[in-house]
Amino acid sequence: MLLTTQLIGFGGRVSGGLSALTSITAAMWDGNTSGWTLSNDDAAKTTGGGFHNIRIKHATAPVLDGDFVWQYTQTGDMGGNTDSSYGLYDISEDSTWSTTAFNQGLNSMTNSYWFDATTGTRNIETFEGSTSKTSSINFSVDDQFKWERTGTTLTLSIAGSVVQTWTGTSETLRFCASGFTANKADISDIQFQI
């Protein structure tokens, strides 16, 4: 028998009561969107030579204020040398987030849970605010990245394996993404469950 808290391939460890699996629409994105092609549940960085930072912030966008799952397929290799950064931050720090800054301003926040590309391709380092949590986490192109919060514990999984856990994350969170070089930051099949 399949329990409602054991959704196959999606949110298997999230407590019951979550909504159905939902895709992101292009209209939910905000920020420096001119450098991206945003089509429903895909985000492709099409302009190189500068940071074009985007976030999910719109009246129709999901509010991540309880248990949730946020997942996507990493179709770009991130490029290395801090070429790309992705993460979640407390909406009370919206004014610190930047459309053009390196690391999107996530490293200047108190409650941000994120990663950026490090030396070489397909390698990331995780952070909480400006504090490094783990380094040299490898991934493969087309791996699924899943951010999942249960209670106040937030995890990041890559290809089904938890690579980072943050605790005490009770904030209302917003997802954001950045890239410098065309195609390196691309993500697809963005879906959420709240």
List, for the chain, all residue ranges whose pLDDT scores fall below the cut of 50: 1-15
> Hey, what amino acid is at 77?
D
Cα separations in angstroms, 121 against 85, 166, 183 = 13, 24, 13
Instruction: Choose which CATH entry (2.60.120.920, 3.40.50.1100, 3.40.50.2000, 3.90.470.20) describes domain 41-193.
Output: 2.60.120.920
Instruction: For the chain, give the number of residues.
Output: 194
Residues 163, 140: Cα–Cα separation, whole Å = 14
Residues 186, 48: Cα–Cα separation, whole Å = 12
Residues 182, 34: Cα–Cα separation, whole Å = 12
For 179-192, how does the pLDDT look when each residue is reduced to its tens digit (9 = 90+)? Answer: 999 999 999 999 99
CB 118 within 8 A of CB 124: yes
What is the per-residue pLDDT for 118? 84
Residues 110, 152: Cα–Cα separation, whole Å = 16
> What pTM was estimated for this model as a whole?
0.89
For 121-148, how does the pLDDT look when each residue is reduced to its tens digit (9 = 90+)? Answer: 899 999 999 999 998 899 999 999 999 9
Residue-range domain boundaries for the chain: 41-193
